[in-house]
Chain A
Amino acid sequence: MPDVFMLAAILLLATLGVALMRAVRGPGRIDRIMAAQLVGTGGVGVALVLGAARNAPAMLDAALIGTLLASVAVSAYVRGRTVGQPETGGPGRADEAGRSE
């Protein structure tokens, strides 16, 4: 049974490697963010499966933390696009699409 879980974990990792092609190719920033988000969800799955394969309940804590942190990158990206209006002078900046509001 551990071998089955280990095989599943290896297949999941290969899947995530394929998804990283989208992060390499782009073309836009949103595509790379989506690839990172998919790797986040996939990493949670890998942690669950590895925990079952190696009888390590600590991996469940890692999966829980990974779940909670996976969406932070997306909210930071969207927030960075919207707060960077010229008159605020904040740390964010306008995106490459040249939105004007």
Chain B
Amino acid sequence: MTWLDYAVIVLLFTGVFFYAAGSLGLVRFPDASSRLHALTKADNVGLGLVALATALHWGSPAIAAKIFAVWLFAIMAAGMTAQLLARTAKDDDEARDPP
């Protein structure tokens, strides 16, 4: 095993850890607004680390570019999703107890 393999393993399991943290947050957090944090932040950090690990493992620039595209679109989608869901959660909160 080269040092690159060790780096891949460390990145991979750090990514899995962040995925686990995101899932745990989604299950354990008390309301929709705070669950949104687990969904949009921890999960995408996990995806970034896993994508980096797999790109290093493949070791080919073309495949790394494709994995980079996956990560880029996921980040853009996460930003849009977070805005839409946060607005929806805010509307729900204000409908429940008006300001």
**A78 CA / B24 CA spacing, docked (Å):** 25
Find out whether the CB atom of A38 lies under 8 angstroms from the CB atom of B22: yes
**B8 CB → nearest A CB, Å:** 8
Q: With A8-B16, A18-B24, A38-B26 known to touch, is A64 a contact of B95 (CB < 8 Å)?
A: no
> Cβ of A41: which chain B residues have Cβ within 8 Å of it?
43-44, 47, 74, 78
- Interface footprint category on B: 35 or more
A1 to B26, CA, bound (A): 31
A16 vs B24: C-alpha distance when bound (angstroms): 10
Total number of A residues with any Cβ neighbor in B under 8 Å? 45
Contact code string B59-99 (vs A, CB < 8 Å = 1, else 0): 00001001101100110011011001101110110011000
Residues of B within 8 A of A37 (CB): 39, 81, 85
Would you call the interface of chain B mostly helix, strand, loop, or mixed? helix
**Please, which residues of chain A bring their CB within 8 A of the CB of B84?**
74-75, 78
Q: B residues within 8 Å of A by Cβ?
A: 5, 8-9, 12-13, 15-16, 19-20, 22-24, 26-27, 32, 35-36, 39, 43-44, 46-47, 50-51, 53-54, 57-58, 63, 66-67, 69-70, 73-74, 77-78, 80-81, 84-85, 87-89, 91-92, 95-96
